[in-house]
Chains A and B, each alone.
Chain A
Amino acid sequence: MPADGGPGRRGEGDRQIGDPFAPAPLVFVEKVRGALRLAALDRAAHRAGLAPGLTLADARARLPGLAVLDHDPAADAAFLGEVADDCDRWTPLVALDAPEGAPDGLILDITGCAHLFGGEAALRARLLAHLERHGLGALAVIAGTPDAARALARSGRGGVVPPGGEAAAVAGLPVARLGVSAETVTGLSRAGLKTIGDLAARPATPLAARFGVELLVRLDRTLGREDVRLVPRRPLPACIAERRFAEPIARTADIEATLALLVDDLALMLEARGEGGRAFEACFFRTDGAVRRLRVETARPLRDGVALARLWRERIETLADPLDPGFGFDLVRLGVLRSEPLTPAQVSLDGRAVEEEEVAALVDRLAVRLGRERVLRFLQRDTHDPDRASALVPAGAAVPSAAPAGSAAEALARPLTLFDPPQPVEALAEVPDGPPLRFRWRRVVHEVARAEGPERLAPEWWRRPEETPTRDYYRVENREGRRFWLFRAGLYEREPGAPRWFLHGLFP
């Protein structure tokens, strides 16, 4: 059952206007069509009779002592995101509610979760108390469909709608709460249909003919006749294990022990599904509402409790900014974000599978400690463009690419290391296409003893940007025996601009 809550602003309290020490009523203004208008206001300002949309000048005329701040929708959205993260503790299905463009509410799908907190009413009470503790005022409604809950919450109601009671609960609400366009609302009120109850009593066909099917869909959803699925903010984990603590935990040893327990729970679940996890996420819910998320990705499907626990220990040890427990974590959750089928490995006598397993475990550990982008393997592409012929990609993600056809046989003379981008050098060479006789790289002059070239290499014509100079490559060896891969960008007299020389790679 979805619940809808509209959190207020942090720090907003119940202030009395008559109190001389109370802070002034606070409003947030934004510029709309050349005039500063109120975008949001606190409770005190609301009580004084101000409303969003009023110009600042009018508001000042009514309340001269008004405190004014600029409206910052991005900060609002970010804060709502933090609240939504914290609401993950009630259910993994949390969606942002944005009926008028900018999100200003949250919808939680609590189907199957309510019994964990002692029923729907108890869950609602705990949720409100939790938000209250963090200085948030909120309205929460639990109803059978998201639309019914939203319509009730935005009308200022609260409470739990009993199953099947949506139609009765929303009957008295104005039609504007259906979330249909302004013209439809105007049309309906001209026809004398002021409340949702009026609409529900009407036959559907004439309404659809006059106002479109959209109205009927909205009506059905609000009356609880049709249910819709939420689009959660975060991907749903395949399976979840969690531990709640009446006494929050803060020590690293406790956190690691908790993770080890959770990993064992997950291993059992994954085994029952015949799967192994490729990506895991741990969420640490702090008592003050902040949520820290950590991810671990593995190179192969994994459900071995010992290996997983070791990966998590490694991950926590090597955090750049350590887990800040604040006043402690009261909920730790471990979820499998991505899983793949995993059949138990056959132990063969040659131990081949064991060796592969060992290497994959090593890759995982190094990737967790150093970061995925630091444990790499080659991705080869079938192209002559040296810049694109190979790339280093994370070892966990890539499947070993098939080598380009015939590469083993030809094994071109190519440098062991490539500079990216190529390094400019000053070179002396025969015009127009002789190999360099002498070049200066990093303030050292190299006399060329032997050279081979030119070898003209270019990207495929469809990849080649316009006006790129032609590259002629030379393999040269200097008098000391060091070998270099140089190229001349540009042709004498046939391409505009003077040709320039670059060093692209070094041979062993």
Chain B
Amino acid sequence: MDPIRDVAALRQMLAGLEAARLPGVEPSFSLGAAGPAAGGVCLARGALHEVQAACSADLPAAAGFALALALRALQTADAGERRPLLWVRQDLAEAEFGRLDAPGIAALGLDPARLLVVRARDGAEVLRAAGDAVRCAGLGALLIETWGTPKALDLTATRRLALRAASSGVTSFLLHMAAQAAPTAVATRWRVAPAASAPLEGDAPGAPSFHATLLRHRGGAGGVRPVEGGDWKLEWDHEACTFRDLDPLPRAVVPVPAGRPDGAGAQEARRGEVVALRRAG
């Protein structure tokens, strides 16, 4: 009938069959170059993840963390570089912490032209908009930000979101305060608070830093054992689009371009090798 729709349906079916096997599309993403403990965490793509702010004042930090996770999910995805992100925000969150600003989003490493923002009046409207958005396979990632924990956000609603995310492949992040912990059907649950950043020169505040606790990790996708209860201090490197372990000591900061070849490290490794020398004479 409609060739566009048929091909889309076919693509979706194929993606569902081959997601686990295609070499290009990994079914999960990691936190990047973080240290061994945090680096081992694999988050499922096309699943619902929950980011809780430790208290209401930490919501901006939690939002930054969720956006950074979404960027991680997009960065390694096939064609994810071009897909837009959708951020559904409740009006109260905007009233409390201000409107989203394009330069700030660029500062986290996302091109603001790729972000769509939806303003919803209340929690139920947020969930309805999210329910529609999560089915749209053209989206790269979805951020759902509610103020407090709306009544409608229960096990059924989150389970529905998670199932839809799994079928469409849209990695979704649920962002709210941890005030009333409701049971939710999510793949991972993080509790995020801001951490004191590694200062730059002149004692200036450094890169965005988070104190992230992994409260729940279902399954431990990718064959890695679950690391629930992990508690890390991470900082976000927007240029390399990766998390790093937070180094609490001051250090000179030399910005390293994202695409530099890894030559220096290889030479260092060779310096430690034993070289056979023949005594002269």
Chain B binds chain A: yes
Residue of B nearest to A402 (CB): B113
Question: Which among A352, A408, A412 is the interface contact of B111 at CB below 8 angstroms?
Answer: A408
How would residues 180 to 209 of chain B score, 1 for a CB under 8 Å from any chain A CB and 0 otherwise? 000000000000011111011011110011
Residue of B nearest to A314 (CB): B132
Q: Across the interface, which residues of A come within 8 angstroms of B70, CB to CB? A: none
Q: Across the interface, which residues of A come within 8 angstroms of B194, CB to CB? A: 480-483, 508
Which of B63, B104, B138, B209 has the most C-beta atoms of chain A within 10 angstroms of its own C-beta? Answer: B104
CB distance from B9 to the nearest CB of A (A): 10
Docked CA distance A420–B209 (Å): 25
B202/A452 in contact, CB under 8 A = yes
Residue of A nearest to B194 (CB): A481
How would residues 354 to 395 of chain A score, 1 for a CB under 8 Å from any chain B CB and 0 otherwise? 111111011101100110011111101000001001101001
Is A419 interfacial (CB 8 A cutoff)? Answer: yes
How would residues 71 to 99 of chain A score, 1 for a CB under 8 Å from any chain B CB and 0 otherwise? 00000000000000000000000000000
Which of A365, A420, A452 has the most C-beta atoms of chain B within 10 angstroms of its own C-beta? Answer: A452
Residue of A nearest to B83 (CB): A355
B125/A370 in contact, CB under 8 A = yes
CB distance from B212 to the nearest CB of A (A): 12
B104/A418 in contact, CB under 8 A = yes
Is A456 interfacial (CB 8 A cutoff)? Answer: no
Is B117 interfacial (CB 8 A cutoff)? Answer: yes
B196/A403 in contact, CB under 8 A = no
| Interface residues on chain B, size class | 35 or more
Residue of B nearest to A503 (CB): B98
B138/A362 in contact, CB under 8 A = yes
Is B99 interfacial (CB 8 A cutoff)? Answer: yes
Docked CA distance A482–B112 (Å): 23
Question: Which among B97, B104, B211 is the interface contact of A481 at CB below 8 angstroms?
Answer: B211
CB distance from B63 to the nearest CB of A (A): 6
Q: Across the interface, which residues of A come within 8 angstroms of B121, CB to CB? A: 370
| Interchain pairs with CB closer than 8 A, number | 206
Docked CA distance A413–B82 (Å): 24
Docked CA distance A419–B193 (Å): 21
CB distance from B150 to the nearest CB of A (A): 16
Q: List A397-419 residues whose CB lies under 8 Å from chain B.
A: 400-401, 403, 407-408, 411-419
Q: Across the interface, which residues of B come within 8 angstroms of A337, CB to CB? A: none
Tell whether A376 pairs with B102 under 8 Å between CB atoms, given A358-B138, A450-B199, A508-B63.
no
B107/A411 in contact, CB under 8 A = yes
Is A467 interfacial (CB 8 A cutoff)? Answer: no
B196/A481 in contact, CB under 8 A = yes
B209/A418 in contact, CB under 8 A = no
Docked CA distance A224–B3 (Å): 56
Docked CA distance A449–B197 (Å): 10
Q: Across the interface, which residues of B come within 8 angstroms of A255, CB to CB? A: none
Is chain B's binding surface mostly helix, strand, loop or mixed? Answer: mixed
Q: Across the interface, which residues of A come within 8 angstroms of B196, CB to CB? A: 449, 477, 479-481
CB distance from A490 to the nearest CB of B (A): 22
Q: List B88-111 residues whose CB lies under 8 Å from chain A.
A: 97-109, 111
Residue of A nearest to B201 (CB): A452
Q: List B119-141 residues whose CB lies under 8 Å from chain A.
A: 119-121, 125, 128-129, 132-133, 136-139
CB distance from B34 to the nearest CB of A (A): 17
Docked CA distance A449–B250 (Å): 14
Which of A356, A366, A444 has the most C-beta atoms of chain B within 10 angstroms of its own C-beta? Answer: A366
Tell whether A418 pairs with B101 under 8 Å between CB atoms, given A354-B4, A376-B117, A390-B112.
yes
Q: Across the interface, which residues of A come within 8 angstroms of B57, CB to CB? A: 444, 482
Q: Across the interface, which residues of A come within 8 angstroms of B199, CB to CB? A: 450
Question: Which among B4, B197, B211 is the interface contact of A347 at CB below 8 angstroms?
Answer: B4
Tell whether A477 pairs with B197 under 8 Å between CB atoms, given A359-B84, A380-B112.
yes
CB distance from B255 to the nearest CB of A (A): 10
Docked CA distance A373–B119 (Å): 8
Is A451 interfacial (CB 8 A cutoff)? Answer: yes
Is A333 interfacial (CB 8 A cutoff)? Answer: no
Docked CA distance A480–B194 (Å): 7
Is A150 interfacial (CB 8 A cutoff)? Answer: no
A411/B238 in contact, CB under 8 A = yes
CB distance from B2 to the nearest CB of A (A): 8
CB distance from A370 to the nearest CB of B (A): 7
Is A26 interfacial (CB 8 A cutoff)? Answer: no
Q: Across the interface, which residues of B come within 8 angstroms of A449, CB to CB? A: 196
Docked CA distance A389–B98 (Å): 15
How would residues 467 to 485 of chain A score, 1 for a CB under 8 Å from any chain B CB and 0 otherwise? 0000000011101111100
A359/B60 in contact, CB under 8 A = no
Is A345 interfacial (CB 8 A cutoff)? Answer: yes
Is A466 interfacial (CB 8 A cutoff)? Answer: no
Q: List B65-94 residues whose CB lies under 8 Å from chain A.
A: 65, 67-68, 79, 82-84, 86
Q: Across the interface, which residues of B come within 8 angstroms of A361, CB to CB? A: 136
A414/B101 in contact, CB under 8 A = yes
Tell whether A377 pairs with B113 under 8 Å between CB atoms, given A355-B137, A479-B196.
yes
Q: Across the interface, which residues of A come within 8 angstroms of B8, CB to CB? A: 351, 354, 358
Docked CA distance A361–B133 (Å): 10
Question: Which among A366, A412, A450, A479 is the interface contact of B103 at CB below 8 angstroms?
Answer: A412
B63/A420 in contact, CB under 8 A = no
Question: Which among A353, A374, A480 is the interface contact of B119 at CB below 8 angstroms?
Answer: A374
Q: Across the interface, which residues of B come within 8 angstroms of A8, CB to CB? A: none
A366/B104 in contact, CB under 8 A = no
CB distance from B114 to the nearest CB of A (A): 9
A508/B61 in contact, CB under 8 A = yes
A414/B139 in contact, CB under 8 A = no
Q: List A292-324 residues whose CB lies under 8 Å from chain B.
A: none
Closest 7 pairs (CB-CB, A-B): A508-B64, A390-B102, A452-B204, A355-B138, A358-B138, A414-B103, A417-B98
- If A355-B138, A377-B117 are given as contacts, then 17 extra A-B residue pairs at C-beta distance below 8 Å, sorted by A number, are A350-B79, A351-B7, A351-B8, A366-B132, A369-B128, A369-B129, A375-B119, A377-B113, A377-B115, A392-B117, A401-B113, A417-B97, A475-B204, A477-B197, A483-B194, A483-B208, A507-B104
Q: Which residues of A are in contact with B by a Cβ distance under 8 Å?
A: 345, 347, 350-359, 361-363, 365-366, 369-370, 373-378, 380, 386, 389-390, 392, 395, 400-401, 403, 407-408, 411-420, 444, 449-452, 475-477, 479-483, 505-508
Q: Which residues of B are in contact with A by a Cβ distance under 8 Å?
A: 3-4, 7-8, 11, 57-58, 60-61, 63-65, 67-68, 79, 82-84, 86, 97-109, 111-113, 115-121, 125, 128-129, 132-133, 136-139, 193-197, 199-200, 202-205, 208-211, 236, 238-239
Could you show 14 A-B contacts with beta carbons less than 8 Å apart?
A345-B4, A350-B79, A354-B7, A362-B136, A369-B129, A378-B112, A380-B102, A407-B103, A411-B109, A411-B239, A416-B101, A418-B99, A420-B98, A506-B60
